[in-house]
Amino acid sequence: MPTVLVTGANRGLGLEWVRQYSEDNWSVIACVRKASAATELQALGAKRSKQIEIHALDVTDFAAIDALAAQLKGRAIDVLINNAGTMGAQNFATGGLSAGRFGVSDFDDWVQVFRINAFAPMKMAEAFVEHVERSEQKKIVSLSSIVGSMGKNSVGGLYGYRGSKAALNAIMHSMGIDLARKHGICAVPLHPGWARTAMGGERADIDPVTSVTGMRKVIAALTLEDTGRFLMYDGSELPW
C-alpha cells in the first residue's frame, strides 16, 4: 500500500486528496491545522480508519514540521503533497483580480502568505526528504497556481498571492534539479485548475473531484524526466 502525506487536508482540494487516495487503498497521512475542528475529515477517518491517520500540523510552525518528521521517522512516503495554501487577506472568490491590486499592499499579510505558500513547502521537503527517498515512488508535489506563471500573466494584480506562487515555482524548479540528482526524487509544482473551493469560489471552472482526479493521474505518471516542468491538472504544461 503506497503512502501519501497531504497538508491542509481539512477542506477543499486537501480533503478531496484524502478521499480519493484512501478510496484507492493508499495509506494517507492527513495533516490539518486543527484536528478537533476537522469534522468532515474525522468522519472520513472513522470510516476508513485503516487507511487514514490524522495529524495536527500548522505548516507555519516549522518546529512542528520537524517534530512530525521525527515522529514518522523510518516511514516511507511515496508522495508528499504540499497542498495547504492561502490568499491571506486577498479574496479572489469575491474580489477577483481587484484583490491585491497595486497601491494597497499589506506587507504583514504578504509575510504570512509567503510563509504558508512558499517557505512551508520548502521546509516540508527538507524535513521529509528521507521519508520520500525510502519510498518506491519518490515524488514531491506542491500546489502552485497559474497566477504564479510569468508567461501567463497579461492582466497584473494579485501581487501577494501571485508573488508567493512565483516564489514557490522558483523553489520547486531548483528543488527538482537538486532532488533528482541527489535523491532520485521527482519534485514539481502543479496547477490544480480553477476549482470550486472556498479559495476558487463558486464561479470556478471545475469541481474538486475533477481537479484532484486529474492531478492524481499526472502524479501517477510522473518520472524524473518531468523534472523542470510546471504542469496543470489535465497534464498540459504551463510556462514558468
Ligand X SMILES: NC(=O)c1ccc[n+]([C@@H]2O[C@H](COP(=O)([O-])OP(=O)(O)OC[C@H]3O[C@@H](n4cnc5c(N)ncnc54)[C@H](OP(=O)(O)O)[C@@H]3O)[C@@H](O)[C@H]2O)c1
58 sits near ligand X (criterion: CB under 6 A): yes
Nearest distance, CB of residue 116 and ligand X, angstroms: 5
Sign of the torsion angle spanned by Cα atoms 105, 58, 240, 217: negative
Among 3, 4, 5, 10, binds ligand X (CB under 6 A): 10
Q: Which amino acid is at 2?
A: P
Alpha-carbon span 135 to 77, nearest angstrom = 6
Contact 197, 208 (CB under 8 A): yes
Among 3, 4, 5, 12, binds ligand X (CB under 6 A): 12
Of residues 89 and 204, the one with the C-beta less far from ligand X: 204
Q: Which amino acid is at 46?
A: A
Stretch that binds ligand X, among 11-19, 152-160, 218-226, 228-236 (CB under 6 A): 11-19
- Residue 223: how many CB atoms within 10 A of its CB? 9
Nearest distance, CB of residue 35 and ligand X, angstroms: 10
7 sits near ligand X (criterion: CB under 6 A): yes
Of residues 129 and 199, the one with the C-beta less far from ligand X: 199
Contact 124, 7 (CB under 8 A): yes
11 sits near ligand X (criterion: CB under 6 A): yes
145 sits near ligand X (criterion: CB under 6 A): yes
Task: For the segment 78-137, give every residue that binds ligand X (CB under 6 A).
Answer: 83-86, 116
Contact 82, 6 (CB under 8 A): no
Contact 110, 88 (CB under 8 A): yes
| Number of residues engaging ligand X in binding (CB under 6 A) | 28
Q: Mapping DSSP to helix (H, G, I), strand (E, B) and coil, where does residue 31 land?
A: strand
Stretch that binds ligand X, among 21-29, 72-80, 152-160, 192-200 (CB under 6 A): 192-200
All 3 cell numbers of residue 84?
Answer: 495547504
Contact 169, 144 (CB under 8 A): yes
Q: Which residues here bind ligand X, judged by CB under 6 A?
A: 7-8, 10-14, 33-34, 58-60, 83-86, 116, 143, 145, 191-192, 194-195, 197-200, 204
